Structure 1
Amino acid sequence: MKISICSFSFHRMLAAGQQDIFQYIQDCKQLGCTQLDPWNAHLAQLNDGADALHAGANPGQSQHLKAVDDEFLARVKLAADEAGLPFGCIAVDGAHIYEASEEARTSNRQRAYRWIAIAEQLGATSVRIDAGGPQQWSEEVFGIIVEGYKDVIEHARNAGIQVLVENHWGPTVLPDNTIRLLEAVPGLGLLLDSWNWAHGKQAEGWLKCAKYAAATHIKSFHFTEDGQELTQNVPAFCKLMLENGFQGTWGVESVPADGNEIEGARKTIQLIRQSVQ
């Protein structure tokens, strides 16, 4: 069983100076992960904790997440190798495809290229790059997003990296938009988040998009004393994924209401393991 923790699960620890990318690697090893799925804030030059908190709350306004240099990345790769954990998906904020102006789109594209290069240096298999744009897109906006992804995918293919879109924010919180985009862009994969759907669209998102998933983010917020998640039916989500032939990594993206991020990740992993036996 392949399991990972998106490091956004530890964004409050990162902001408080209680975890960095090296501690993240050790925490993932201790929690039984088989790969590393860092959020790019863990690989960014942060001025202070507020940078991470702002990025976490505003993924469409995260261009301030400037990547660390190659020397630092070499240290990160060495630490991961020593822990025996390969890199899987780097979740990139601040490099989304659509912006209203061509200048802003070009700037984001350069950031996307840089994060693809980082993924290659770390030996990661994929990068999550958002579509961006309004929830209800026009044909013009859709066309710009399609062409943008085709360019990014071609760039990533040369590095052996797969590009994933996530139902995260903007147009992809609507299941039909996500499917239309996936079917319009050859080679684009889906990072399926169990939670990030527009209001009233979660069940539709699960049922329509499960078959497209290359990877998952399984959300958790509140747990019962016996380890069940109160906000959504995680066992049902896992069962649906298995029924659709999912063979990818079971990714945790826990956001514990009590603030205990290590325990939130631990409990989510336990629940996933129980659900896929």
Structure 2
Amino acid sequence: MIPFPGKLPNGDLVQDARPEVWEQNLAQVADASFDAVDPTDSWLRIADLEPARLSEFLSICDGLGLSIPAISTARRSVIDPEHGGEYLAYSHRVIDTAAQLGIGHVSFGFFGPLSPSQMKALWFWTEQGVQNPDDPDVYRLAVDRIRELGQHAESCGVRIALEMYEDTYLGSARDAVRFVSEVNHPSVRLNIDIGNLIRLHRPVEPWAEMIELCAPYAGYWHVKNYYRIEDPSGLVMTHPAPLLGGTINWRAAIRRALELGFDSPFLVEHYGGDGLSISAANRDYIRTILPGGTIRT
């Protein structure tokens, strides 16, 4: 749902909007031949809907033929210096909501709110964002809180995926593997969203190396691609691309992940342009790669 903003043109939150507004957005998703949707809390926090409103949301999805295999969260880090405790409680509500609705996967991350410079930029990843502190006590707090969420998820039959993202404790392949190994819980996996790293205007690990290191720990997976240009002068520039046209060879990446045991849903994403239609094309491309030509959910 990232092509759909969390605020309406008049400034009101989609969270507080009439169900007809939700239906207008979700109808576009169904019209693009999707039969599954991740509400994504940058658009709508379904874990914070009152029971009657949640029922209305579910009724809309059911009427449009949309199942909900996963819930993704964004910029609600459980180690946020101001709101970490609040976001931890929210994360528990997300797990409870997933369990209540029979949703098998949730995605969490340690990335913070967009900085003022990021909000002004054409592409927010070209400006510096919030960085996780180089502080062993905060790192330990992050490990402990994710393990706590993992224990909750396990009791509910839900799996957690931790989103790889720059300048966080999951900001490189090695850091991500180290962190999930420190958590050491069977319900906690990695959301190996390597597109978040390939798009950076700085040196990054080769995508194939990231897949090789992280795929054995992979759970629910956000996928997107970018064109990446590296000039001999050191200048790096990137731009969103469809899965089949960018720097990452997604056919090779997905096939290797399958060989290493990946068995969770994909979330197709795209920033800029007609993101929904490009996401639909990305969905169809993935189906040509998977055995049997269908997405396994």
TM-score, with length taken from structure 2 = 0.70
Match of 1:200 in 2: 204
> Which SS does the other structure have where 1:171 is aligned?
coil
Read off the aligned partner of 1:167 and give its amino acid letter: M
1:180 is aligned with what amino acid? R
Q: Which runs of 5+ in 1 are unaligned?
A: 1-6, 46-65
**In structure 1, what is the Cα distance between the partners aligned to 2:179 and 2:52?**
37
Specify the alignment match of 1:173 in structure 2. 171
Q: Aligned-pair distance for 1:148?
A: 0.5
Q: Which is worse superposed, 191-200 or 259-268?
A: 191-200
1:85 partner amino acid: L
Report the alpha carbon displacement of residue 219 of structure 1 after superposing the two structures with TM: 0.4
If you compute each CA radius of gyration, which structure gives the higher value, 1 or 2? Answer: 2
Deviations 1:172-200 (A, max 9, x none): 12111211121122121222213122641
Inter-CA distance 131–213: structure 2 relative to 1 (3 Å threshold): same
* Letter of the structure 1 residue corresponding to residue 210 of structure 2: G
Instruction: For residue 152 of structure 2, give the secondary structure of its aligned residue in structure 1.
Output: helix
8 Å contact from structure 2 (residues 73, 108) kept in 1 = yes
Distance in 2, matches of 1:15 and 1:260, equals 18
TM-score of the superposed pair, with normalisation by structure 1: 0.75
- Among 262, 272, 276, which residue is 1:246 paired with? 262
Which structure carries more helix by proportion? 1
Q: Any residues of structure 2 matched to 1:1-277 within 5 Å, and which?
A: 7-8=1-2, 10-12=3-5, 21-44=22-45, 67-100=48-81, 104-132=83-111, 134-135=131-132, 137-169=134-166, 170-185=168-183, 186=185, 187-197=187-197, 199-203=203-207, 204-220=209-225, 221-223=240-242, 228-256=244-272, 259-276=273-290
- Share of identical aligned residues, percent? 19
Offset of residue 14 of structure 1? 6.8
Matches of 1:268 and 1:208 in 2, distance apart? 24
Matched pairs, number? 243
Q: What is the distance in 1 between the residues matched to 2:71 and 2:8?
A: 19
Distance between the aligned counterparts of 1:127 and 1:115, measured in 2? 8
Task: Tell me if structure 1 keeps the 8 A contact 2:269–2:275.
Answer: no
Cα distance change, pair 36–159 in 1 and its aligned pair in 2 (3 A)? same
Deviation at 1:97, TM superposition (A): 2.0
Which structure would you say has the larger RCO, counting Cα contacts within 8 Å and 6 or more residues apart? 1
CA contact (8 A) 2:75 2:110 kept: no
Given that 1:97 and 1:108 are in contact with CA atoms closer than 8 Å, whether structure 2 keeps it comes out as yes
